[in-house]
Amino acid sequence: MGKEALEEKIALMEEKLAVLEKENLSLGHTRDVQEIQKVMSLHEYYHSAFMHQEELEAIWARKAPDVAFEEALFQARFVGLEAIHKYYVEFMRNFLFRSALVIMREWYPQLKDDPEEELPFGLAYMHTLTTPVIEVAEDRETAKGVWISPGYMTMPYRERLRAFWHWDRYGVDFIKEDGKWKIWHFFVGREFTSPYEKSWVDIALDDEEAYELALQMFKGWPGLSGVISEPLNPFEAYHPFKVARLKPRLPEPYKTFSETFSY
């Protein structure tokens, strides 16, 4: 084979190799997106079963020092696993879930459940995931995503067990730890909560006082003392007298996390 023919063959091989590398990168990106969707879906399944401790252990970053959970409903951000545990595990279990259990046992004394049970019967959280926009960094070490989440809740409220519509919006940063995608910064903003039989327009106008009371109860719970940080993400729930805005901020293509913002 002559020198010219050999050079042509090498050039062709290099061209094919470049195409393969590009295809492999695209396949890797697609796999990343699917894995990230799976992580978010697991969050919803764990949350629906009140398995918050198991969720933190399974799908949250354990090595990143600034892992964070931001709850727009309560105007609070929790930074670090200890602070997140105080809210997402201890507050939820010791305040919300057990309070509901006490109420349900009072309302339905004829129902004989396990006296050692810590989870209330009748309580339900179901959040789904739609409209994902996911951006994986070029270095494939971090990623960002947003979702809209239609859902429902069932809880004891005003003397009876009641059904509610509940819609959220998520903005989440993900990071790879030991080759696995994990939740790094988690933001959730409530779009609205309304009784099944009542319009979210009416509830936005009628229940402002009840919301302020709930906010005071949350911030006054002793177990959260010293672990609440100021939120990073501006967010307003639906209100009939306010203009709808793009929220949360959408992810944009980026090379590495230092080039982008944090949820």
pLDDT score at 206: 67
CATH class of 3-259: alpha beta
Strand-pair partners of 179: none
Share of the chain above pLDDT 90, in %: 67
Higher pLDDT, 81 or 223: 81
Share of the chain above pLDDT 70, in %: 91
Q: What is the mean pLDDT of residues 15-20?
A: 67
pLDDT score at 119: 83
pLDDT tens readout for residues 183-196: 999 999 999 999 99
Q: Are 165 and 203 in contact (CB under 8 A)?
A: no
pLDDT tens readout for residues 161-181: 999 999 999 999 999 999 999
pLDDT score at 27: 81
Angle at 170 between CA 165 and CA 174, to 5 degrees: 145
pLDDT-wise least confident of 48-52, 206-210, 220-224? 206-210
Q: What is the mean pLDDT of residues 86-98?
A: 92
Domain-wise residue ranges, the chain: 3-259
Angle at 131 between CA 162 and CA 133, to 5 degrees: 135
pLDDT score at 18: 66
pLDDT tens readout for residues 82-91: 999 999 999 9
Query: d(Cα 224, Cα 88) in Å, to the nearest integer?
Result: 11
Q: Which of 192, 201, 216 is nearest to 75 (CA)?
A: 216
pTM of the shown model:
0.87
pLDDT tens readout for residues 102-140: 999 999 888 877 777 778 889 999 999 999 999 999 999
